[in-house]
Amino acid sequence: MKITTNINSLLRRTNSELAFQRCINPFCGTTCAVTEVRTACPKCGDLLDVDYDWSLVDIPSSLAEFEKHWQQRFSPVRFSGVWRFHELLPFAPIDRLITAGEGQTLLQQADAVGRFVGMQPGKLYLQYEGMNPSGSFKDNGMVAAFTHARMIGASRAACASTGNTSASLAMYCSVTQLMRAIIFIGSGKISYGKLSQALEYGALTVQIAGDFDDAMQRVQEVAKDLGIYLVNSINPFRLEGQKTVMFRVLEALRWEVPDWIVVPGGNLGNSSAFGKAFYELYKLGLIERIPRLAVINAAGADTLYQLFEKRGLRWNYGKPAMEIACHYYDELDRDHRKADTIASAIEINRPVNLKKCLRALEFCDGVVRRVSDQEILDAKAQVGAGGIGCEPASAASVAGARLLRQEGVIASGDRVVCILTGHQLKDPTATVAYHTADQDKFNEVLGSRGVSRAAFANRAVAVPNELDAIIKAIQLYS
């Protein structure tokens, strides 16, 4: 049954006919209703996708038609950089969508950063997700999970977080006053910018004596016991919202598909969502080619790199040899190896979306690389010097693009989009330490990270409080 009535009436219908959840394991394929709250397949325990009967959705005949939604910017739903693509993630009826103005982001052509990466002019773009209301790309996914949570009547939502997920959840809870946020954090590793958001937005903040992987484990147990809605990226609805980052990249490129998407990898929600976005656009006939995907780990949290590049773990038509991953995790435990990087947002050794990411890498002919904290901070300084600040994890994408350029995997004439996942002010500690002239401060924050130099430091100039000396210094340095 093809429905050709206008889109609003279509999407206001009960969405249970056109949207459902499906096990990602093609040999299982169990489906359940869109209104069920699950983080795993009820039959085999694998991850779930949100999927659609696209024949019931009134999909525009070309992506350019989405530009018409801009004419309805007075409508909060069309103003949202997520919901103006509602037809491509139609799991909730249009009158139930929640928004806080997320997704007003920018794709910036960045030639100065491009030179650093080794690209020809006009070829490097930075997708700046720091412009989201809580300062990171997480808002794209959170708004979708939040909408689903409200759709099924939840009143409390929880997550474990390296910082940005909790900031985003806390923001949606307080700005809408619709739910209570409960956030689990590990001890010590959360940046102040992010923690300050969660606290000020009024989230119940539970600090566990353990690291992120411990907090992740606990939040799942607690959510199950207390019936609290879980918004970690294991939640398949979040990934639906995160697909729209790619829709906006294409929109900014006038719907031309770039050659490369380069993204930092932590829990692998973004990379998985991007792969799903391109898969669906391709299947729907809305794009004709697929960009290649590069997922960049920090060297101190490089599980995906180890599994994909070193041990040959592949999606393998839906039968990945997961014993390779299990064996690797056993090794981590045996050697007491914990994730350790200055890029706290990707300081994760057991990525929950591993299988979905393998699928995305397969579909997008992807590669995985790892970059050191030194490379991350140097790239971050270059991104900042180019006028768009980002947090350390985000800069992994630029450092990774540079590495792939050096290897010749990316050509200098390729069109490359690096995703800058979070705002510069999220984590000022690392930035200030990088630029300081005080060697002790530098060592205190960065020394233990194997960061030994700051090639692109912009040092403050110390002068006595005397007019002559100040004028002299300015003339000397400018």
Ligand X SMILES: *Cc1c(COP(=O)(O)O)cnc(C)c1O
Near Zn ion by CB under 5 A, which window of 35-43, 314-322, 337-345, 381-389? 35-43
Spatial CA neighbour of 38 closest among 268, 239, 224? 224
Q: Which of 236, 266, 366, 386 binds ligand X (CB under 6 A)?
A: 266
Near Zn ion by CB under 5 A, which window of 32-40, 41-49, 428-436, 465-473? 41-49
Q: Do the Cβ atoms of 156 and 180 come closer than 8 Å?
A: yes
Nearer to ligand X, 123 or 402 (CB): 402
Separation between Cα atoms, residue 315 and residue 360, nearest integer Å:
9
Separation between Cα atoms, residue 436 and residue 66, nearest integer Å:
46
> In Å, what is the CA distance from 394 to each residue of 55, 127, 344, 427?
37, 10, 10, 11
Nearer to Zn ion, 321 or 332 (CB): 321
Q: Is 30 in the site for Zn ion (CB under 5 A)?
A: yes
The per-residue b/e assignment along 439-473, b for 16 or more CB within 10 angstroms, e otherwise, is eeebeebbeebebeebebeeeeeeeeeeeeeeeee
Q: Is 264 in the site for ligand X (CB under 6 A)?
A: yes
Q: Which of 345, 354, 383, 401 binds ligand X (CB under 6 A)?
A: 345
Minimum separation from the CB atom of position 307 to Zn ion (A): 21
Sheet holding 106-109, edge to edge: 106-109, 124-128, 416-420, 260-264, 292-298, 367-371
Q: Is 80 in the site for ligand X (CB under 6 A)?
A: no
Q: Which of 132, 233, 235, 303 binds ligand X (CB under 6 A)?
A: 233
Nearer to Zn ion, 47 or 296 (CB): 47
Nearer to ligand X, 382 or 424 (CB): 424
Structure tokens at 288: 């004709």
Q: Is 326 in the site for Zn ion (CB under 5 A)?
A: no
Q: Do the Cβ atoms of 166 and 199 come closer than 8 Å?
A: no
Nearer to ligand X, 10 or 145 (CB): 145
Nearer to ligand X, 18 or 307 (CB): 307
Cβ neighbours of residue 460 under 8 Å, at least 6 residues apart?
Answer: 435, 436, 437
Q: Which of 391, 416, 417, 442 binds ligand X (CB under 6 A)?
A: 391
Nearer to ligand X, 57 or 422 (CB): 422
Cβ neighbourhood burial of 411 (10 Å; 0-12, 13-18, 19+): middle
Q: Which of 244, 267, 341, 431 binds ligand X (CB under 6 A)?
A: 267
Interface residues with Zn ion (CB under 5 A) are: 23, 25, 28, 30, 41, 43-44, 46
Interface residues with ligand X (CB under 6 A) are: 136, 138, 164, 233, 264-270, 345-346, 391, 393-394, 421-422
